[in-house]
Chains A and B, each alone.
Chain A
Amino acid sequence: MAKSTILIFALLFYGIKIYPNNFVLSGFAFDKNSREPLIGATITDKNSDKVCISNSMGYFSLQLDSGLHEISIGFIGYKTHVEELGISKDFELNVYLETLPFQLDTVSIDSKKNSESKTVQSGEINLPIHQIQSIPSILGENDPLKIAQMLPGIQSGGEATPGFFVRGSAADQNLVLIDDAPIYNPFHLFGIFSVINADALKTFEITKGGYSAEYGGRLASIVNINLKEGNKNKTKGYLNLGLASSKVLLELPITKNKSSIIISGRSSYAHLFAKPFLPKDQYGTYYFYDFSTKYTAELSAKTKLYFSGMFSADRFNLVDEYLPHSLYYARVKWNNTALSLRINHVISKKLFWKSAIIFSNYNLLSKAQQKNLDATYYLQYQSNIREIALKNDFTYYLNAYQQIQFGVTITRKNFVPDAVTSKNEDASLLNRTIQEYNAIESAIYFEDEFKLGKKLIGRIGGRVNVYSYKNKTTINPEPRISLAYQLAKSWAIKGTYTQMHQYLHLISTKGVGLPTDLWVPATNKVPYKMAKQYTVAVVKDFAKSFSISAEGYYKEIFNDISLKEGSSFMQIKSIDVVDKNDLTWEDNITTGTSWNYGSEVFIHKKKGRLQGWISYTLAWSISKFKELNFGNSFLNRQDRRHSLSIMMIYRINEKWSISADWVYMTGNHITLANSIYNNIDILPENSYLESHSNFVNYEFTGINNFKMPPYHRFDFGLSYIKQRKDLITEFDLSVYNVYNRQNPYFYYLVSSPDKSESKVINSMMKQVSVLPIIPSINCKISF
């Protein structure tokens, strides 16, 4: 730690001494039509090859010597702006870039942000929004989080499983931020759609390693989503009609070129269509809606105010009388709320300040009831997590080669987790008082991004977390190091080392098949998690605007958590239980260590008629818990050895485009009984142990002993755009899972009596697949 501190200061002084720039070129990059700031635009001085990237407000600051400079400002999908400037004093330049109506190979687009070899960042994927919108959709919904699951190192949990798994880590280890506010469950039911409306997005970035010190609190990934600000010139919008859902978006300028609001909403109605087609013994309803808004006001030339809000809700009911003696009933509802009030201010030409007040709330209520031969079992999960945070971030542009970021954040989290199951209904148990947990997470961070000479770029920094729960406070430093060395011919080699801590956990019951997210804090009984990750990558940019990267990673997670074997939230095991409230979720948790490692290859083409990517991941995810699997290591559920995805979009002309993707993943792992056998106790003779002889023993060869069949599917999409004056009509035809692959969602064991209905039990294993071939047609009318 001491060595890294010395190194940071050495680099700081190095920057100050070697690059005494005289004048500052600063300003904003905007979209010419909508006045949206462009995040990640590249500002290049062609004479000196000095480069900087615009930040989340579109602001840039570049230090130049006096004299004549040829400044180029480029952004993917926009015409590059080139301007000659004679610099003899500090200079302010606001640039308004024009969008390219139809991207062709011949158009030169300069963007360092999209040149993998020129950035220090490793393990980050920045998906262009136009690609997200062109990929074949399911039921007409282009979903960035679903598309992310086709990227290297990012995998879905399986058929219709919400959440995503980054580099073998569990779903709770991903931090999804919408305009700085975290979303705890970013998916609607079955993970078919996320709560994010692709049309309301400005940027979508996933970081899997080499995290910036600005972010913390999760071990696996940071998904950073920025919503559009809305058109500040004129009213724009669209209406999108689909088979399962429809959505509407409206961009309204409030004060021309100064303030705007964008509102988008979506609601499903598939259950209305589905009702007549459901089997007689199965009836249910499901619907969701989500809503997002963003208000932006330019308070002054240097100050901007943003208010962002996102709300989503899901409701699900299912009754399945799958056997004459059995019944399954489930009712689930959950809501997400994310609000952020942010202010960005240019303090000086070199110093930029962002401040935010953030509120996030997630509520889940999941009830299920399963009637078996012996009894009726009830399950009730409630999970509420509420977070209020205050965040202050500063960026100091020290010189053209060095930029320093630092900040402080404080978050108060309130958890109300409760899970209970009971054999035959016990109203007093299901309606008992639920305990609340409060925790405070604070952090300060510092980070120096620099360029040493012409070849080496780096980012060195650290974050110090302070976590308080009850009377206990822990302090955990997290060093973050990212280095990149540029080789000849657009090759670069990169390496990162990061440490992360996570002070909250998601407990999910494996066998239920229902959303049973139980967000809980790290407590005195259940420790926080910590991960160390090392990555090495080789990247190459090609002239034809595509890049290839190969990256290896090794991640070790300490204090990973799991439910104990046989644990149940069944609190009534016998009538002798003294105090039902004595049992808490903490008693069901055990901790261990996990190791995730693998390599990823990503070929990405971002521009031209043909766009898309090929992604391949070879990965291992292994855990070892003292109290699981008799202390032996085992493969994690999300251990998928091979993942391959191919995604292509081809723009035939200005009106027509086609797209297709194919996804293949090795099946994930679940725990299933391999066999059954009678139980016989023969000692002590005549003793009580004989009473156990009637039990059936289940043989499990190990935790996660069963590998599901591979997951694969092929999707196809066709898009037609017709423009008449200001009215654009877009028709999308898409077919999801073209060859109707029955990918397994989950397996479950059901018991039924034999013909004589004696005590002899027959067991059946059932596989559930929920997403077959789904053709859809979509019509979008924009103005």
Chain B
Amino acid sequence: MRIFCCFFGLTLFYSSCIKEVHNNFDFEEKIVVYSYPNTSDSIIKLILLNNQPVSASLENNNEKLPYLKNATVTISDGNKSTLLTFYEGNSESFYYTDSNSLKFEEGKNYYLNINSPDGRYARSSLKIPHSSNILSASVDTSSVAKITLYDNMMSISREVTLSVNLNAANAYHFVYAKVYGKTIWYDNKDTSVNSTVKDFYFNPNSSLPLQINGNQTLSTKNEIGVATNFKTIDFFSVEIDSVEFFLITVEENYYKFLKSKQIQSSNTNDPFAEPALLFSNIENGLGVFTGLTTRSKKIILKE
């Protein structure tokens, strides 16, 4: 009986061992594309990488990224096709073309073709969205108040408002502002004042679908002609020299990409989370190829 128990126990617990499987079962090498052509850019950049098996190590160092070099990359607007040039730098490598070779215009479609030296290919297309107008922008200096941020730090708050006319159908928007001013840090012993340029992101009034690092940044799809106010509070500047507002109109594809990335990345390390798929508009590849337009408005303040 004892022998049998030993036999039984050994069989049960050793032959059912955890088996390591390298998940390369259906790994397919794909071209990863990142490109965000903007009507206001003078140079259009496109980064090509290779994906890796799940069991591989990914470097965060730009120099060591698995760049895809020497590929044939063309972008066309249906009439004119431009071959992108490969640039290999010390810190990063990318393909580029200048806006003289190919002009990105609102409402137009553009087609991307990539052929790698080893015979792989990827395709995509984008449509540059129509921009929306900034109706007004303001900084409410009357709301300035000294507040306590942490136990030993003080700052000033003021309300910054951007009012825009979202007139692009089927488009999504980013809004953000660069604040040029001085930052002061108070603590019990010292006070330091520095000239800074800081980025701020706005909270539209409604609850938003997307958060990045706790900042609500992206609007939902809006109706044409509806004015929307975006508000934020500047906590850090004691003096503001100027504020530059940016309204970026993006394609739905970019919204989907960012939204899915946010869902995936927020739970990457959570072993109890459901898997999340990452959106891509690259045929036979990964990543995103999407167009944007930017409008900006600068306000000079004399505080």
Contacts and interface: CB of A to CB of B under 8 A. Distances in A.
Interface of A: 243, 273-274, 276-279, 322, 368, 370, 372, 374-375, 377, 379, 421, 423, 509-512, 563-570, 573-574, 576, 629-630, 671-684, 686-689, 691-703, 706, 740, 742, 747-749, 754, 759-777
A565 B276 contact: yes
B127 to A, nearest CB: 17
Contacts of B264: 566, 697-698
Q: From DSSP, what is the main secondary structure of chain B's interface residues? A: mixed
Given A377-B269, A509-B272, A702-B277, 10 more contacts: A273-B9, A277-B6, A370-B272, A511-B274, A564-B274, A748-B271, A762-B56, A765-B20, A767-B19, A773-B11
A375 B54 CA distance: 21
A696 B58 contact: yes
A133 B230 CA distance: 71
Contacts of B4: 243, 777
Name, among A565, A748, A769, the residue most crowded by chain B CB atoms within 10 Å (CB to CB): A565
Interface in B1-24: 4-23
Contacts of A765: 20-23, 54-55
Contacts of A767: 18-21
Contact of A691 (B34, B213, B275): B213
Contacts of B292: 683
B46 to A, nearest CB: 9
A692 B15 contact: no
Nearest to B27: A675
A377 B11 contact: no
Contact of B176 (A273, A680, A684, A742): A684
B272 A379 contact: yes
Interface stretch (B59-67, B130-138, B139-147): B59-67
Query: What 10 pairs between A and B have smallest CB-CB spacing?
Result: A566-B276, A566-B263, A568-B273, A765-B23, A772-B15, A277-B9, A683-B36, A677-B51, A675-B51, A565-B276
B52 interface: yes
25 contacts: A243-B4, A276-B9, A377-B272, A565-B260, A565-B277, A569-B272, A570-B267, A630-B256, A674-B27, A678-B65, A684-B246, A688-B213, A688-B215, A696-B58, A697-B261, A700-B277, A701-B26, A706-B26, A760-B57, A760-B60, A765-B55, A771-B16, A772-B16, A773-B11, A776-B8
Contact of A568 (B35, B49, B274): B274
Contact of A760 (B54, B59, B272): B59
A209 to B, nearest CB: 31
B21 A695 contact: no
A54 B174 CA distance: 73
B273 A682 contact: no
B267 A676 contact: no
Nearest to A677: B51
A674 B120 CA distance: 18
A288 B55 CA distance: 38
Contacts of B19: 742, 766-769
B266 interface: yes
B268 interface: yes
Name, among B4, B5, B54, the residue most crowded by chain A CB atoms within 10 Å (CB to CB): B54
Contacts of A775: 7-8, 11
B73 to A, nearest CB: 15
B199 A511 contact: no
A766 B274 contact: no
B30 interface: yes
Name, among A678, A691, A765, the residue most crowded by chain B CB atoms within 10 Å (CB to CB): A678
B201 to A, nearest CB: 7
Nearest to A512: B272
Nearest to B213: A691
A448 B65 CA distance: 72
B160 interface: no
A264 to B, nearest CB: 25
Contact of B212 (A565, A692, A701, A747): A692
B131 to A, nearest CB: 14
Contact of A761 (B17, B57, B217): B57
A568 B9 contact: no
A697 B33 CA distance: 13
Contacts of A671: 275
A678 B270 CA distance: 19
B252 to A, nearest CB: 12
Interface string B246-269: 101000000010001101111111
Contacts of A764: 20, 22, 55
Contacts of A759: 60
A273 B213 CA distance: 51
A692 B261 CA distance: 9
B154 interface: no
Interface in B24-45: 25-28, 30, 32, 34-36, 38, 45
Given A273-B8, A688-B212, A699-B51, A566 B13 contact: no
B278 interface: yes
Given A673-B54, A674-B28, A675-B52, A511 B273 contact: yes
B52 to A, nearest CB: 5
B214 interface: yes
Nearest to B246: A684
A371 B54 CA distance: 20
Contact of A700 (B10, B58, B278): B278
A683 B60 CA distance: 18
Contacts of A566: 263-264, 266-267, 273-276
A763 B53 CA distance: 9
Name, among B22, B55, B248, the residue most crowded by chain A CB atoms within 10 Å (CB to CB): B55
Contacts of A576: 214
B27 A423 contact: no
Contacts of B277: 565, 629-630, 700, 702-703
B235 interface: no
Given A674-B26, A696-B58, A747 B21 contact: yes
B111 interface: no
B100 to A, nearest CB: 20
B185 interface: no
A720 B148 CA distance: 84
B286 interface: yes
Nearest to B269: A374
Given A697-B278, A700-B277, A772-B16, A676 B9 contact: no
B121 interface: no
B166 interface: no
B261 A682 contact: no
A418 to B, nearest CB: 14
A317 to B, nearest CB: 16
A6 B179 CA distance: 77
Nearest to B263: A566
B47 interface: yes
Nearest to B273: A568
B11 A684 contact: no
B39 to A, nearest CB: 12
Contact of A377 (B20, B47, B217, B271): B271
A695 B53 contact: no
A372 B16 CA distance: 24
A772 B11 contact: yes
A683 B272 contact: no
Nearest to A564: B274
B47 A682 contact: yes
A570 B273 contact: yes
Contact of B278 (A569, A693, A699): A699
B270 A568 contact: yes
Contact of A766 (B14, B18, B261, B268): B18
Contact of B58 (A277, A672, A760): A760
Name, among B8, B17, B27, B66, the residue most crowded by chain A CB atoms within 10 Å (CB to CB): B8
A368 to B, nearest CB: 7
Given A687-B199, A747-B21, A765-B22, A770 B275 contact: no
Contacts of B23: 672-674, 747, 749, 763, 765
B22 to A, nearest CB: 6
